């Protein structure tokens, strides 16, 4: 009995000494055993600002948005020549609640996005600009700006089984779908622009739907020890870099609204905790 008790005590001591060392290790297969609980994700987003206003009017490349907010026309250009827009950014945040864990495959949740973007250019010198009338292409010294605050509520499916299980393939594809709202307003100088016909402020609320697909790269793979310490100290399970393509239709369902959506891309950083 004494011999058995001694062996048991010795084995227990070895396990106790080894436990801290095991807790410090991190691998693609044993990671889930050690990580803290995971329920949420936050994304810092930055991407392209592009609107479908001219497309909605059937005037893609030569409608009012392009005429006002894109590069000034060459006076010698053909009347119906398309105008090239400068690249503009949109930035924002996303918050997801990962409601359901789908075993080792991934997670299903709901989320919300809020982004802001604007297009600014010198205001037309006349009341309106026309592709067929070069005299209306002149600009004033005052800026005009279209500002859009876009938001969505959506479902999100993240498939992270590869990133969590295969260290040399840290990829996590995902998809999102939901409804979108976008308050927008046009300014002239420091004041809201006004409709020259009705005299009303150029403001509105557009609505529609939001679809997105993207690919995230898990950063834990490149610094696993740092990722483990970050989890232990702050509860952050994983971090990613992502790239996303999304299409937002904001032309309205039951009534026609200004389509300040369109096809765009977004990149950024995701943290899960």
pLDDT of residue 134: 62
Q: What are the boundaries of each domain within the chain?
A: 35-272
Cα 79 from chain centroid?
37
Q: Which residue has the tokens 């949109």?
A: 90
Is residue 13 predicted with pLDDT exceeding 60?
Answer: no
Contact of 240 with 219, CB cutoff 8 Å: yes
CB 106 within 8 A of CB 165: no
- Which CATH class, in words, describes the domain spanning 35-272? mainly beta
pLDDT bin (cut points 50, 70, 90) of residue 10 is: very low
Write the CA distances from 259 to 48, 53, 117, 130, 193, integer angstroms: 16, 5, 14, 21, 18
| Tens-place pLDDT, residues 118-170 | 998 887 776 666 656 666 667 777 888 999 999 999 999 999 999 988 989 99
What is 216-229 written as a DSSP string?
EEEGGGTSHHHHHH
Q: How high is the pLDDT of residue 76?
A: 58
For the chain, give the percent of residues with pLDDT over 70. Answer: 75
* C-alpha to C-alpha distance for 40 and 157, rounded to whole angstroms: 13
């Amino acid at each position: 009995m004494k011999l058995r008790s001694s062996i048991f005590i010795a084995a227990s001591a070895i396990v106790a000494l080894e436990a801290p060392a095991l807790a410090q290790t991190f691998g693609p297969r044993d990671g889930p055993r050690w990580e803290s609980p995971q329920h949420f994700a936050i994304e810092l987003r930055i991407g392209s600002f592009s609107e479908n206003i001219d497309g909605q009017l059937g005037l893609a490349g030569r409608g009012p948005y392009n005429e006002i907010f894109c590069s000034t026309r060459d006076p010698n250009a053909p009347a119906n020549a398309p105008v090239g827009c400068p690249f503009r950014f949109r930035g924002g945040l996303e918050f997801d609640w990962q409601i359901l864990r789908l075993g080792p495959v991934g997670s299903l949740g709901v989320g919300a996005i809020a982004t802001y973007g604007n297009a600014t250019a010198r205001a037309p010198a006349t009341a309106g600009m026309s592709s067929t009338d070069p005299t209306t292409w002149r600009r004033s010294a005052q800026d005009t700006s279209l500002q859009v605050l876009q938001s969505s509520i959506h479902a999100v499916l993240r498939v992270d089984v590869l990133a969590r299980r295969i260290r040399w393939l840290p990829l996590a594809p995902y998809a999102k779908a939901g409804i979108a709202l976008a308050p927008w307003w046009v300014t002239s100088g420091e004041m809201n622009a006004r409709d020259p016909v009705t005299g009303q402020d150029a403001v509105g609320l557009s609505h529609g739907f939001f679809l997105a697909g993207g690919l995230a790269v898990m950063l834990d793979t490149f610094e696993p020890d740092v990722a483990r310490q970050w989890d232990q100290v702050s509860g952050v399970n994983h971090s990613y870099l992502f790239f996303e393509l999304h299409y937002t239709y904001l032309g309205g369902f039951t009534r026609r609204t200004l389509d300040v959506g369109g096809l765009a891309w977004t990149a950024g950083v995701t943290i899960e905790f």
